[in-house]
Amino acid sequence: MKIAQLVPPIVPTPPKLYGGTERVASMLTEELVSRGHKVTLFATGDSKTHAKLRYLVKEATGIGSCSHLLNMAQVYSAYREADEFDIIHNHAGFFGIASSKFISRPTVTTMHNDYLLPKFPEFHFFRNATNFVFISKKQEKRMHGLRSAGVVYNATDTDEYTFSPDKEDYLLFLGNCYKHKGPDIAIRVAKRLGMKLIITGKYDPGRQEAWFMKNVAPHVDGKRIIFRKLIPFEEKLDLYQHARCVLFPIRWEEPFGLVMIESMACGTPVVAFGKGSVPEIIKHGETGFIADDYRQFLAYVKRAHEINPRACRRWVKRKFSIEVMADSYERVYRRILKSRR
């Protein structure tokens, strides 16, 4: 198949630091190339790939600095060459969805985030604009009414996220340091249990930064509560491998959550609230714990040592490997092309 993969011009593909969408798109692209498909990646000029690379922006603009106009131009640069491909896979969000209505080639859009919801006025206008792939069953259910091409779980590179059975006595929180992710709850848990907590991630300028400064920053002392903004991969891997457990105290319907599978790939269990995709990703009692409330969350963190690190690793390799994800997308592509013929 001749396949185009389209990502936003925000960070390189794969990302050097933060960028879950670009990481997934990169893994899929490289695996499809290895399987003999003719793949073109529309990304930034500083991206690394074995596919044919086309770019509008020579260097990634950076998180929080990419304009809507530049995002639209990136999509247009790919879609104007649509006739070169059998199928175009959009990872660029709403701009790619909107433009899909105006090209003749079939498109697939992975819903890496909640770009469309039934409460949005444009939901019904774009419901059939593209073939929507959802990253969890819960997300597909919440977006009922969109033209679904099925559910494909995200993957992680188990050659990159390597295993360690050796754990130390600290808790770990990774991700966007904003209210819906619950870093303040992680702090509360660590203080209640008298344990060290390491927080690493990002917050965007504006409301996220203001919330972080009010609810997280005052608790950071560099000893018991430690914050590191964006860290190199090697340092993040070390933290994953040796944490007692990863805390995932989300307050929203998380569509997926790469943090969970990256942690389990390293042999580290996850304790999470059971919102969004969490019950589909964590195998309760075997690869982590799913809590209904704060009191239960505390109790499960105390029991994290009961989880077998090797069970976490086996689970990820069976359910969330690159090969499994690529198999699923190949089926999606072939089914769409067959239906058009």
pLDDT by residue (tens digit) across 212-228? 999 999 999 999 999 99
Quickly count: other Cβ atoms within 10 Å of residue 317's Cβ. Answer: 16
Indicate the pLDDT class of residue 329, thresholds 50, 70 and 90: very high
Percent of the chain with pLDDT over 90: 83
Provide the 8-state DSSP code for 22.
H
SS3 string of 28-84? Answer: HHHHHHHCCCEEEEEEECCCCCCCEEEEEECCCCCCCCCCHHHHHHHHHHHHCCHHH
Question: pTM of this prediction?
Answer: 0.93
E-assigned strand segments in the chain: 2-6, 38-44, 52-57, 87-90, 107-110, 131-134, 148-151, 170-176, 196-202, 225-228, 245-248, 270-273, 288-291
Domains of the chain (ranges plus CATH)? 2-155+321-340 (3.40.50.2000), 170-319 (3.40.50.2000)
pLDDT by residue (tens digit) across 305-323? 999 999 999 999 999 999 9
Indicate the pLDDT class of residue 17, thresholds 50, 70 and 90: confident
Please give the pLDDT value at position 63.
Answer: 66
Average pLDDT score over residue span 119-133: 93
Q: Which two tokens stand for residue 243?
A: 């944490």
Please give the pLDDT value at position 300.
Answer: 98
